[in-house]
Amino acid sequence: MAGGTPDLRRDRDHPSIQTVQIMARSGIDWIIVDLEHGPIDLGSAHAMITATAGTPCVPMVRIAAKEPWLAKAPMDLGALGINFPMICSGVDAEKAVRSVRYPPKATGCGARSTRRSAEACRWRITWRPPTTTWSG
């Protein structure tokens, strides 16, 4: 809640790019693209996430299960948040958080990697190839 006003959000459980565009431009704060319930696949999710571009609406994705690896593709497609279903313990929560953190904030097994993409620009991530040092 910013300034005492409630956050406005909406869940989308069927693929409609036009509906997301209308909603994103209507003033809602965030939208959840629901991959757990309904017929939305990653291709449709990508289009729905992209439909929020140029608006203050934050695109989030609810993944189908609490498996950390399921968060990778939606984040690579431009989702700015992941909703993990069925988090029932502290261990589940720690795994979920670790799976969406990028190095150096996350280390070890479960830390995310990044891919070179236009979607990364939304987070202002700059991709640079690794530096190779040669010694001879």
Per-residue pLDDT of 38-73, as tens digits, reads 889 999 999 999 999 999 999 999 999 999 889 989
Catalytically active residues are 37
Tell me the β-bridge partners of 81.
60
The range of the structural domain enclosing residue 32 comes to 9-86
Q: What CATH number is given to the structural domain containing 22?
A: 3.20.20.70
Residue 28 lies in a domain: yes
Q: For 95-117, how does the pLDDT look when each residue is reduced to its tens digit (9 = 90+)?
A: 998 888 766 555 555 455 555 55
State residue 136's pLDDT score: 39
- Give the predicted TM-score (pTM) of the model: 0.75
Residue 103 lies in a domain: no
Number of domains in the chain: 1
Residue 91 pLDDT > 60: yes
Residue 104 lies in a domain: no
Q: How far apart are CA 12 and CA 45, in angstroms?
A: 10
Residue 66 lies in a domain: yes
Residue 100 lies in a domain: no
* Maximum C-alpha span of the chain: 64
Residue 38 lies in a domain: yes
Q: How far apart are CA 64 and CA 36, in angstroms?
A: 4
Pseudo-torsion of CA 89, 94, 97, 99, nearest 10°?
A: -110
Residue 105 lies in a domain: no
Q: How far apart are CA 37 and CA 19, in angstroms?
A: 17
Task: Supply 91's token pair.
Answer: 């261990």
Reduced to 3 states (helix: H, G, I; strand: E, B; else coil), residue 50 is helix
Residue 119 lies in a domain: no
**Helix or strand (DSSP H, E) at 18:** helix 17-25
